[in-house]
Amino acid sequence: MSSNSKDLIQKIVLESSAYKSMDMIDSLIEGGMDLSQVPVQPLYQAIKSLPAQEIAELLPRFSKQQRQAFLDLDLWYKDDLDVVEFGTWIEVYTRSQDEDIVNEFIQGNPFSLYLKGVFNVWTFDVEDPLYPDHDNYFLTEDNLLLFEFHEDYEYVHEARELVRRLYSELGVENAYAHLFKILVDSYMIIQEDEYQDKCYRLKELGFVSHLEALEIHNSFASTEVMDSFIKKKSAQTATIEVEGRSQTLPENSLVAFKKEIPGLSEDLATVEDQKRQDYLHFNFLRMINSGLTLDNAMKSGAVAMTRVGNRTRSLLELGYDYISKQLKSNQSVFELFDFTDIFRVGNSLVSFVQKKLKKGMAATALSRQDGFLGRYWVDFIDNSYDFPIKYVDIFGAESKPQAITNAELYEKWEKRADTLLGLLPFADQFYLNYKDLLESHKIKDEYYMNYKVDEIDLESILMSTFANFALGNFEKENVNRIGLTLEEYKTFTKALLDSEGKVTTSTQMGEKIVKFLGQFGMGQVNSLDEYLLGILTEQMEGYDYENLSGEDFKHVGGPIILVS
């Protein structure tokens, strides 16, 4: 728990940890708390793991709003019916002994929509009966409606029992009229109206519809548009009703937030106005819920919710750091911005780079053959689409990737992406030439000592080409090959490495790399000299070349060695 009692994120984390399971919730109730006062999301998660009979026994202890919220959550996936997930509630309400609660359920729109989603419902004429050519159906009490279902449907008896109880409660005429509405053309209107009502009900509890989640996760059109938004932003503080102020999140979605966020936590603690605190509390729920909605994480389980929390925290940190650097030194980010604003900025920053990478790769033959780029760039691309986004600062080095959670690291990552984008046209041509040689059988495993043909990639080709350049081989006539002879390789190591076996840091070698890149048209690619030096360092240091046998050279990296 934060030492500062005003850190509302830590308050949410602490509160959610009190509702981990139904046992913990029961212990709170024993202390005098009413079950109807428990926040909806942790309560929903707690009961999802219980058997249907236990949930049925708990129904009277829930408030009507809680029961409705559970149905709203399970009846829909995005903007369509989720009849599979909702099936559990058919069993639960069949087992309930509370007639009032069962009647509340069977007369509600969710049950009618579920019936329409699962069954083909037909009018039935007793005097001129027309039966399906299978046994997967049942008739209503008045024999006026026929419910046809798929042979794999598992809640036949429960659904039939609930329909029977509907007739018992409403009477034949009214029950028929109630069910008949799912046959008529206005059904789609009923579904749309119920969807909108569902969105409104859940929004009051901090949930986010699929459309709202897409809006929160939608990036700005450009950096310029985003910076203009930051510059012109003014504070907005909506009034949050009691139901919204009392809500919290599932604990698994908050694992990433158990540690304070440097800078952000202190800034958040400066918010004094209670109305603003209530609004930010509610807005934080909506930020997390937007990710849970898009990933369907609440129904997918603990791992999915934890993943959403990790991703959200990293983007929130990045957005906060970026915004704070554009404000006056004494100005609080939370005076003007809420959590969804900050998250959207962080998400947009990442999206800008990812879109550039995707577009650049799509323009080459490497979009499905990115392995040819070599380990460094493959790892770079993978880390650029992971969450949190990660970045390795040193070319070629086997160092631990850093999560991009601040503007400084983001800028380095963006520049590194620009290096790859500048390199891609050359890498693409290298790949096409390599592919042509491979398909024409002009390169074979037996031609090379330290590489198999399918191991040759951009890194090995660049190092080999540079080595040939450094040795002056391109100044000779008729040099058109991939690789070096063994003697040339040894000569190259003497020029590249110092007396301690480290890649030389001499100005002469650096100038030679720059000259090589310029001669091959790659001189304008940002940091490409650092990249080439980095992969040479990674692959060629660590060997005592003077004492290696001919057999040992089969296992070294660096330039390709030709078999004599």
Q: Which DSSP string corresponds to 110-125?
A: HHHHHHHHH-EEEE--
Q: Is the pLDDT of residue 5 over 70?
A: no
Residue 128: its pLDDT value, please? 86
Q: Is the pLDDT of residue 3 over 60?
A: no
Q: Is the pLDDT of residue 468 over 60?
A: yes
Residue 173: its pLDDT value, please? 94
Q: Strand runs (DSSP E) across 18-144, as ranges?
A: 76-77, 80-81, 120-123, 137-139
Residue 34: its pLDDT value, please? 84
* Least confident range of 19-23, 57-61, 392-396, 540-544: 392-396
Residue 185: its pLDDT value, please? 65
- CA atoms lying within 13 Å on the CB side of residue 220: 21
Each residue's pLDDT tens digit, 87-101 = 999 999 999 999 999
Q: Which residue has the higher pLDDT, 560 or 49?
A: 560
- What whole-number distance in Å separates Cα of residue 252 and Cα of residue 241? 25
Burial (CB count <10 Å: 0-12, 13-18, 19+), residue 133: exposed
Summarize the confidence of residues 388-404 as an average pLDDT.
Answer: 84
Q: What share of the chain is helix, strand, coil (3-state, %, to 5)?
A: 60, 5, 35
CB 323 within 8 A of CB 230: yes
CB 127 within 8 A of CB 144: no
CB 305 within 8 A of CB 253: yes
Query: What are the two backbone dihedrals, phi and then psi, of residue 390, each rounded to the nearest 5 degrees?
Result: -125, 160
Q: Sketch the domain layout of the chain as residue ranges.
A: 50-202, 207-353, 438-555
- What whole-number distance in Å separates Cα of residue 371 and Cα of residue 318? 29
Residue 2: its pLDDT value, please? 40
- What whole-number distance in Å separates Cα of residue 50 and Cα of residue 60? 16
Q: Is the pLDDT of residue 564 over 90?
A: no
Q: Work out the pLDDT band at 351, boundaries 50, 70, 90.
A: very high
Q: Sign of the CA dihedral 340, 264, 298, 12?
A: negative
Each residue's pLDDT tens digit, 192-227 = 999 999 999 999 999 999 999 999 999 999 999 999
Summarize the confidence of residues 100-105 as an average pLDDT.
Answer: 98
Summarize the confidence of residues 98-122 as an average pLDDT.
Answer: 94
Contacts of 488 (CB under 8 A, 6+ apart): 467, 468, 471, 473
Each residue's pLDDT tens digit, 277-303 = 999 999 999 999 999 999 999 999 999
Residue 397: its pLDDT value, please? 61
Summarize the confidence of residues 384-403 as an average pLDDT.
Answer: 85
Residue 137, SS3 per DSSP: strand
For tokens 């559970």, the residue is 70
Q: Work out the pLDDT band at 478, boundaries 50, 70, 90.
A: low
Q: Is the pLDDT of residue 553 over 60?
A: yes
Residue 195, SS3 per DSSP: helix
127-136, Cβ contacts within 8 angstroms, sequence gap of 24 or more: none
* Rama region for 478: left / alpha / beta (φ>0; ψ in -120 to 50; rest): left
Q: Work out the pLDDT band at 400, boundaries 50, 70, 90.
A: confident
| Per-residue DSSP letter, 240 | P
Task: Give the β-pairing of 137-139 and 145-148.
Answer: antiparallel
Q: Is the pLDDT of residue 104 over 60?
A: yes
Amino acid at 483: G
Q: Work out the pLDDT band at 1, boundaries 50, 70, 90.
A: very low
Q: Which residue has the higher pLDDT, 188 or 333?
A: 333
Percent over 90 (pLDDT), the chain: 84
Q: Which residue has the higher pLDDT, 29 or 341?
A: 341
Q: Work out the pLDDT band at 237, boundaries 50, 70, 90.
A: very high
User: How many whole angstroms from its chain centre is CA 316?
Assistant: 14
Q: Work out the pLDDT band at 31, boundaries 50, 70, 90.
A: confident
Residue 122: strand pairing partners: 146
- What whole-number distance in Å separates Cα of residue 13 and Cα of residue 254? 6
- Say how many residues make up the chain: 564
- What whole-number distance in Å separates Cα of residue 23 and Cα of residue 26? 5
CB 357 within 8 A of CB 420: yes
CB 285 within 8 A of CB 216: no
Q: Which residue has the higher pLDDT, 135 or 396?
A: 135
Assessment of whether the complete model's pTM goes beyond 0.95: no
Contacts of 403 (CB under 8 A, 6+ apart): 314, 388, 389, 390
CB 395 within 8 A of CB 526: no
Q: Is the pLDDT of residue 320 over 90?
A: yes
CB 16 within 8 A of CB 3: no
Residue 4: its pLDDT value, please? 45
